[in-house]
Amino acid sequence: MEEVKRLETESNTTLEDATLRVSPEAMRAMRAWQQERKDQSGKLTTPEQQPTESNSNVVHHNASTPLPQAPAKSGEYSAELPTEPVSISSITHPELQTSGEQPAISSQAALSPFPQAAPLLYYKLNTTTKGSQMLPAVINSAYSQGEAPRRRRSKGGCILGCLTTLVLLLVILGAGWIFILRPYAHNIAQTELDKAMTSAVNQMPTSQLTQLLPPGSTLPINESTINNLIVLNLAPSNPVQKPETSITPQRVRIAFQVYGYPSAISMVPTLDSSGHLVANNVNVEGVLGLIESPDELKPILDKHLSDAQNKLGRSIKAVKLDNQQLTFTL
């Protein structure tokens, strides 16, 4: 009876935020106590609530409905491990307790005259991890504000970077000029020069007139004649404008403007071994030299000099350069 009274007194103890599991020994003691009370008074009542489950081995109660608790015998049910987890708020972590710190005891349990029963064994949910015990990482305020530390560049590095950029730009511009702009401008220049020279050759006298000249006669051509032949065959929209011919004993030079920029072509007309009129010592000056080389211009000059000789219909014995005049010996 003393054991039953102690259980009745302990049933009034408030269990805070926990879920209990009653052992079979406690259930048997509870049933025996209920049967004895029923035999004595004919009516069984509990301090706060009548039992509603008699044949269940596991009874769940919250903190507002306490239940009598039988003393647990250590060793008898040690192999039987409970499966109900306790609430996180009531868990005491041994690794987080300091030396000398003891678990808190409820005031009602401390004032109870009866000896306290040993608590049942429960699994404890360990919520601590290594990460939670580590010190917080140091956060760099500069990086958190999106401002990375800037590396100060030396003067030598700036100069080297500028030179590298300049070299790259020059390489790109040079490649564009060689592979795109120059071929395009070269084709335009050759087309315009070919048209102008073809028109000048067409203005020369035909073979019917030259056949009247006796053998060994000379045919003089002065500077103004060449200028007139070129000007009459240049359209106003032609990029080649303002031709000016000068003849000296050393060479024949034709100066003109291409899109407003000065240029010039100089050569020495002579006869080759087969008696054909050709241009030697060809030279290109000014802007035209950027898009037309002497080796590229010489075939055009040779072609039109040969056309002019065929237009005369007579063989040429000699070519002589004088001041302001070019003389052919027939």
pLDDT, tens digit, 9 for 90 and up, residues 167-186: 999 999 988 888 888 899 88
Number of domains in the chain: 2
Residues 188, 317 share a domain:
yes
Residues 318, 249 share a domain:
yes
pLDDT band at 53; cut points 50, 70, 90: very low
Tell whether the model's pLDDT for residue 117 goes beyond 70: no
pLDDT band at 49; cut points 50, 70, 90: very low
pLDDT recorded at residue 239: 79
Tell whether the model's pLDDT for residue 84 goes beyond 60: no
263 against 148, higher pLDDT: 263
pLDDT in tens, 153-165: 666 678 888 889 9
58: nearest Cα among 26, 23, 30: 23
Residues 216, 298 share a domain:
yes
Residues 289, 218 share a domain:
yes
| 30 lies in some domain | yes
Residues 218, 121 share a domain:
no
Return the axis-axis angle of helices 2-10 and 24-41, rounded to nearest 10°.
110
Last residue of a domain, which of 125, 149, 167?
125
The Cβ of residue 243 has, within 10 Å, a number of other Cβ atoms equal to 18
- Alpha-helical (H) ranges within the chain are 2-10, 24-41, 107-111, 130-133, 141-144, 155-176, 182-202, 207-210, 223-232, 288-291, 294-312
The mean-pLDDT minimum among 77-81, 107-111, 147-151, 217-221 falls in: 77-81
pLDDT band at 330; cut points 50, 70, 90: confident
pLDDT band at 33; cut points 50, 70, 90: confident
| 138 lies in some domain | no
| 37 lies in some domain | yes
Average pLDDT over residues 225-241: 83
Residues 193, 64 share a domain:
no
| 267 lies in some domain | yes
Tell whether the model's pLDDT for residue 112 goes beyond 60: no
Mean pLDDT for the chain overall? 72
Domain that holds residue 298: 183-329
Q: Is 13 in contact with 112 (CB distance < 8 Å)?
A: yes
Residues 251, 320 share a domain:
yes
The C-alpha angle 282, 273, 276, rounded to 5 degrees, equals: 65
pLDDT recorded at residue 129: 57
Residues 187, 276 share a domain:
yes
CA atoms lying within 13 Å on the CB side of residue 37: 15
Tokens of 52: 């509603």
Residues 222, 116 share a domain:
no
Q: SS3 for 321?
A: strand
pLDDT recorded at residue 76: 46
- Name residues whose C-beta falls within 8 Å of residue 153's C-beta, 6 or more positions apart in sequence: 161
pLDDT recorded at residue 296: 92
Interatomic CA distance for residues 288 and 300, integer angstroms = 15
Q: SS3 for 159?
A: helix
Please tell me the chain's helix, strand, coil percentages from 3-state DSSP, rounded to the nearest 5. Answer: 40, 15, 45
| 251 lies in some domain | yes
Average pLDDT over residues 115-124: 57
pLDDT band at 45; cut points 50, 70, 90: very low
Average pLDDT over residues 101-124: 54
Residues 204, 290 share a domain:
yes
Q: Tokens 């070919």 label which residue?
A: 194
Residues 209, 118 share a domain:
no
Residues 311, 190 share a domain:
yes
